């Protein structure tokens, strides 16, 4: 294989993963093992990837390995990392399909040498194996995995792509089509779910799991046993008939429900898995190459790469955050409230900060219930093997409750999670200030209220900061950190430091109503509800946004958020911006009636509008089509996003996108929201200009 200088020049910033070959003597083996180690020269925080130069280095290392005529060839990685796939930053710079085709074919050509080798080939997966890294492992004849290896997955569909260096062909022919659908599609589209070594081995992806302390040595010994016949590897029989048919049907259902056809890459993954039924690598790899070359030249893929870059880089260096040296240490945390949200917060703080956490509430019964919830969740973690028995006892000891707010006297950080009412929150902070030190940060988990107003009556309003989590707290990675008008840099820096320790992606927002995610969601949901008020059938309005491939439809989102909460946020927004955020009398009646959702099922199991909802919802006689509802919602989103940037709610459009990606689960192939508004023309239609320059989150302009 040869990768010419033109292709390499397109990846000028490639962190080259070098491959080094050494010959290893193994007891009990007649001959040596050519061990190829792939390493980009950085520690585990910068995993090894493959661009043109990296593939060329691996190819040269394999030349050396084959030339040695060893008993076996094995590939492994640097400490804690096997390899995590293609150099995505370079992929986003490709301007011509010809170059994209070369890169796609190069991966196949190099990896396939291991598959077609007459010498036994092994992958010793000592750490993270994602995307092309997992494809490299699958290209070998046999695979071991370390018991502490993290991040094993095919994340491509999450990005709007598909495994393109053999994954769609090799995996179904190793573990069966159904399990391949789970790994390639279902897990990837389920918030990029990863496999652990035990699960992956149980599925048949790896032949054996070995303990990490002497993983390489044990892998070599196991390889020797396989070669000399003392160990036999059993492989599952592949059902290429009805089982494969059922797997493809399931794949199509997953793709339809998760993307509504909005992601070409996901649809292509289904096609390629179906093609793998024939187990013809020539045809399969040729199809992958052509499809990958096409996909790399789409705006959707560039938006996906842009989104990936935001979550991997921008999220780790929040724009506008104060110098971290200004942060104070946090050695104790207080949580005001003991309800479900407060319990989730207490659990998170205890697990991540490993400091004492005290909950308080208005009566002992509520406190006891809240503490019991946290302790119960810790017990569950122990039962799942995610905590040792000592770890369980230690964490449970950290979480206590108290009726007396003086228990917060030595707390460095106190967060309130009480009723979403300004007077209630002001009262809580006023009481807290009587007990805590002047430097204690007072954080609010409000979803829409003014942080500045909340602290306005305090002696030290500069210590009040917004700390807005998304539900479920343990799952959604976004944390909106809100700077009030008088919040000082020390409190803000402390909030960012705590957020980082909580392993959340923090975005700085201005103190404006509903901040980012809830403001954008409320605006677009309000337009959908208004269309129903005017006469659009619920079914039509609920399907209107399907072409975007959002994680849930508007009416399902309303049910998830909770109609009462949605109504409260909308009232806050209407008070601030009455010309753009209307109030729905129907939604008010809906909430007053105690309804939680629009949909129910009939006797046949079909989804229908709840008859009680249909009766209370007074509709007009001006229905819109799906296209008209979608147009209305997207115009509103384009307008609101531009206003938010003009108001300096966030630093850049990228922060709006980061919030929607991580807080609302909006698809990577949209790029969040602003690249989609650019691509679809709404940015210029509504605002007269794009959010991004051509070539940002889209194909480079010619």
- Give 204: exposed, middle or buried? Use CB within 10 Å, 0-12, 13-18, 19+: middle
Q: Out of 64, 69, 98, 156, pick the active-site residue.
A: 156
Other Cβ atoms within 10 Å of 532 Cβ, number: 25
SS3 215: helix
Residue 72 CA to residue 463 CA, distance in Å, equals 63
Other Cβ atoms within 10 Å of 217 Cβ, number: 13
DSSP H helical segments within 474-562, as ranges?
A: 489-501, 517-533, 538-543, 554-561
Q: What is the DSSP letter of 618?
A: -
Q: Out of 25, 98, 135, 652, pick the active-site residue.
A: 135
Residue 121 CA to residue 71 CA, distance in Å, equals 9
Residue 80 CA to residue 524 CA, distance in Å, equals 43
Encode 335-346: b = buried (16+ Cβ within 10 Å), e = exposed: bbbbbebbbbbb
Structural contact between residues 271 and 295, judged by C-beta atoms closer than 8 angstroms? no
- Per the annotation, the verdict on 135 as an active-site residue is yes
Q: What is the DSSP letter of 700?
A: P
Structural contact between residues 420 and 518, judged by C-beta atoms closer than 8 angstroms? no
To the nearest 10 degrees (0 to 180), the angle between helices 264-275 and 281-295 is 170
Q: Determine what percent of the chain falls in helix, strand and coil, rounding each to the nearest 5.
A: 50, 15, 35
Structural contact between residues 123 and 137, judged by C-beta atoms closer than 8 angstroms? yes
Q: Which two tokens stand for residue 43?
A: 């520690």
Closest CA to 531 of 606, 635, 608, 610: 635
Structural contact between residues 104 and 296, judged by C-beta atoms closer than 8 angstroms? yes
Residue 460 CA to residue 227 CA, distance in Å, equals 72
Residues in the chain: 702
CA 574 to each of CA 340, 514, 681: distance values in angstroms, whole numbers, following the listed order: 28, 11, 28
Q: What is the DSSP letter of 28?
A: T
Q: Which two tokens stand for residue 589?
A: 């009646």
- Per the annotation, the verdict on 156 as an active-site residue is yes
Pairing outcome for strands 72-77 and 121-125: parallel
How many angstroms from the chain centroid is the CA of residue 215?
30
Structural contact between residues 340 and 368, judged by C-beta atoms closer than 8 angstroms? no
Structural contact between residues 517 and 664, judged by C-beta atoms closer than 8 angstroms? yes
To the nearest 10 degrees (0 to 180), the angle between helices 167-175 and 264-275 is 50
Q: What is the DSSP letter of 699?
A: P
Pairing outcome for strands 599-601 and 607-609: antiparallel
DSSP H helical segments within 122-262, as ranges?
A: 132-138, 167-175, 177-181, 187-189, 197-203, 215-228, 242-259
Q: Is the previous residue joined to 701 through a cis bond, with omega within 30 degrees of 0?
A: no
Task: Tell me the backbone φ, ψ of residue 330, rounded to 5 degrees.
Answer: -120, 110
Residue 699 CA to residue 682 CA, distance in Å, equals 18
Task: Enumerate the active-site residues.
Answer: 135, 156
């Amino acid at each position: 294989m040869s990768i010419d200088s033109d292709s390499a020049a397109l990846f000028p910033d490639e962190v080259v993963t070098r491959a080094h070959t050494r010959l290893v003597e193994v007891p009990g083996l007649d001959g040596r093992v050519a061990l190829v180690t792939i390493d980009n020269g950085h520690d585990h925080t910068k995993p090894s990837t493959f661009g043109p130069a990296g593939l060329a280095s691996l190819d040269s290392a394999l030349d050396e390995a084959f030339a040695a005529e060893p008993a076996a060839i094995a590939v492994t990685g640097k400490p804690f990392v096997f390899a995590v796939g293609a150099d995505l930053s370079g992929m986003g710079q490709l301007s011509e399909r010809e170059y994209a085709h070369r890169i796609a074919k190069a991966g196949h050509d190099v990896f396939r040498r291991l598959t077609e080798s007459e010498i036994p080939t092994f992958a010793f997966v000592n750490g993270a194996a994602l995307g092309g890294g997992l494809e490299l492992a699958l290209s070998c004849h046999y695979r071991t995995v370390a018991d502490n290896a993290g991040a094993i997955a095919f994340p491509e569909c999450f990005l709007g792509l598909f495994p393109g260096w053999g994954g769609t062909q090799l995996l179904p022919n190793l573990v069966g089509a159904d399990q391949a659908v789970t790994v390639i599609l279902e897990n990837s589209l389920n918030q990029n779910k990863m496999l652990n070594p035990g699960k992956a081995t149980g599925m048949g992806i790896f032949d054996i799991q070995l303990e990490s302390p002497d993983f390489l040595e044990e892998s070599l010994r196991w390889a020797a046993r396989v070669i000399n016949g003392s160990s036999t590897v059993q492989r599952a029989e592949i059902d290429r008939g009805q089982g494969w048919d059922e797997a493809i049907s399931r794949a199509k259902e997953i793709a339809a429900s998760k993307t509504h056809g909005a992601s070409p890459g996901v649809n292509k993954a289904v096609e390629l898995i179906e093609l793998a039924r024939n187990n013809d690598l020539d045809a399969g790899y040729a199809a992958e190459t052509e499809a990958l070359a096409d996909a790399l030249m789409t705006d959707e893929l560039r938006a996906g790469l842009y989104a990936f870059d935001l979550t991997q880089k921008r999220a780790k260096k929040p724009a506008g955050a104060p110098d971290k040296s200004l942060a104070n240490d946090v050695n104790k945390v207080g949580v005001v409230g003991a309800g479900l949200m407060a319990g989730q917060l207490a659990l998170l703080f205890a697990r991540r900060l490993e400091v004492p956490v005290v909950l308080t509430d208005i009566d002992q019964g509520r406190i006891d219930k809240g503490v019991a919830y946290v302790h119960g969740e810790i017990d569950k973690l122990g039962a799942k093997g995610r905590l040792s028995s000592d770890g369980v006892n230690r964490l449970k000891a950290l979480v206590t409750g108290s009726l007396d707010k003086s228990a917060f006297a030595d707390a460095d950080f106190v967060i309130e999670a009480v009723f979403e009412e300004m007077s209630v929150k002001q009262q809580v902070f006023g009481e807290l200030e009587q007990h805590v030190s002047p430097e204690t940060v007072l954080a609010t988990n409000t979803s829409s209220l003014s942080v500045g107003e909340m602290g306005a009556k305090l002696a030290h309003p500069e210590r009040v900061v917004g700390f807005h989590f998304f539900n479920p707290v343990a799952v959604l990675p976004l944390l909106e950190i809100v700077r009030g008008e008088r919040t000082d840099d020390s409190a803000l820096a402390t909030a960012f430091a705590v957020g980082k320790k909580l392993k959340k992606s923090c975005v700085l927002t201005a103190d404006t109503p509903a901040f980012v995610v809830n403001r954008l969601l409320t605006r677009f949901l309000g337009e959908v509800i208004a269309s129903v008020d005017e006469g659009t059938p619920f079914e039509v309005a609920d399907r209107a946004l399907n072409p975007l491939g959002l994680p849930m439809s508007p009416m399902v989102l309303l049910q998830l958020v909770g109609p009462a909460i949605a109504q409260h946020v909308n009232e806050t927004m209407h008070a601030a911006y009455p010309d753009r955020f209307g109030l729905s009398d129907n939604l008010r009646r809906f909430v007053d009636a105690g309804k939680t959702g629009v949909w129910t099922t009939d006797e046949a199991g079909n989804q229908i509008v709840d008859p009680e909802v249909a009766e209370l919802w007074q509709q007009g006689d001006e229905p819109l089509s799906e296209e008209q509802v979608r147009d209305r919602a997207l115009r509103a989103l384009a307008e609101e996003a531009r206003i938010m940037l003009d108001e300096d709610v966030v630093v850049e459009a990228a922060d709006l996108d980061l919030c929607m990606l991580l807080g609302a689960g909006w698809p990577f192939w949209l790029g969040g929201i602003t690249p989609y508004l650019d691509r679809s023309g709404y940015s210029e239609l509504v605002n007269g200009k794009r959010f991004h320059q051509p070539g940002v989150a889209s194909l480079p302009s010619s």
